Amino acid sequence: MNGLVQWALDLLYPPKCMLCGRLLENSEKMLCGKCGQALPEYDGPLRTVPMIDTTVAPFFYEPPIRDAVLRFKFHGMQGYAGQFAKWMAVWVRDHLEGQYDLISWAPCSRLRRWTRGFDQAELLAKALAAELDGEVLRTLRKIRHNPKQSKTANAARRRANVLGVYEAVNPAVWAGKRILLVDDVVTTGATVSECAKMLRMAGADGVVCAAIAVTGPENK
């Protein structure tokens, strides 16, 4: 960006750490030094989710990443998508290289998209595709507006809550291809598993998954 424009923007919107909100001196970065040191980096074995070959995420769903995800989804910080995608791309390159042909996402319903103004998984998928120089394509549509997964307590209920809520979009275009499915957070995996099932039934040749964060095994 033009230096003068950046300077004016910084005056109007002082750059803040995306995790703790502290003012930053360097607008090129999105994190303060303290948060950069304290990220809940994922260090467990790769999460196994039914219907998905491999699931990766750079973080555990814990503070301060959890707070950033919530601001991204509910408080207008869609600009975080680029930074989340940079982190996700590291894991995709390390673990999923050569395992997918196109990038897609677990969509929210039209009602939620309309009330929120955007689909957070779509934003992430597009940012990730830009980061990885990959093709991004809508493959699914949510045909029923179900209660939020985050308000649905146990694993069996979460699976039942998403059953039959997705439908394939233009499967003839992507049948026979392997799909990298993107979602914001993987908790029990019920949502992405249901998405992967529909993708496979519609002809996908394989499904891998990338998220910003996964919950620890104790929250499964």
Report, in Å, the least distance between residue 65 CB and Zn ion: 11
Residue of 30, 35, 92, 102 interacting with Zn ion (CB under 5 A): 35
Distance, in Å, from the CA atom of 202 to the CA atom of 139, rounded to the nearest integer, reads 10
**51 CB-near residues (< 8 Å, 6+ apart):** 193, 194, 196, 197, 200, 207
Taking the least distance from each CB to Zn ion, the nearer of 9 and 20 is: 20
Taking the least distance from each CB to Zn ion, the nearer of 65 and 108 is: 65
Report, in Å, the least distance between residue 195 CB and Zn ion: 33
Taking the least distance from each CB to Zn ion, the nearer of 19 and 208 is: 19
Does the footprint of Zn ion cover residue 17 (CB under 5 A)? yes
Taking the least distance from each CB to Zn ion, the nearer of 23 and 153 is: 23
The site for Zn ion, by CB under 5 A, has a size of 6
Residue of 24, 32, 129, 213 interacting with Zn ion (CB under 5 A): 32
For Zn ion, which stretch binds (CB under 5 A), given 18-26, 39-47, 107-115, 161-169? Answer: 18-26
For Zn ion, which stretch binds (CB under 5 A), given 15-23, 46-54, 140-148, 163-171? Answer: 15-23
Does the footprint of Zn ion cover residue 20 (CB under 5 A)? yes
Residue of 19, 88, 127, 196 interacting with Zn ion (CB under 5 A): 19
SS3 of the chain: the string is: CCHHHHHHHHHHCCCECCCCCCECCCCCCCCCHHHHHCCCECCCCCECCCCCCCEECCEECCCCHHHHHHHHHHCCCHHHHHHHHHHHHHHHHHHCCCCCCEEEECCCCHHHHHHHCCCHHHHHHHHHHHHHCCCECCCEEECCCCCCHHHCCCHHHHHHHHCCCEEECCHHHHCCCEEEEEEEEECCCHHHHHHHHHHHHCCCCEEEEEEEEECCHHHC
For Zn ion, which stretch binds (CB under 5 A), given 27-35, 53-61, 99-107, 175-183? Answer: 27-35
Q: What does the radius of gyration of the chain's CA atoms come to, in whole angstroms?
A: 18
Taking the least distance from each CB to Zn ion, the nearer of 17 and 88 is: 17
Report, in Å, the least distance between residue 32 CB and Zn ion: 3
Residues at the contact surface with Zn ion, assessed by CB under 5 A: 17, 19-20, 22, 32, 35
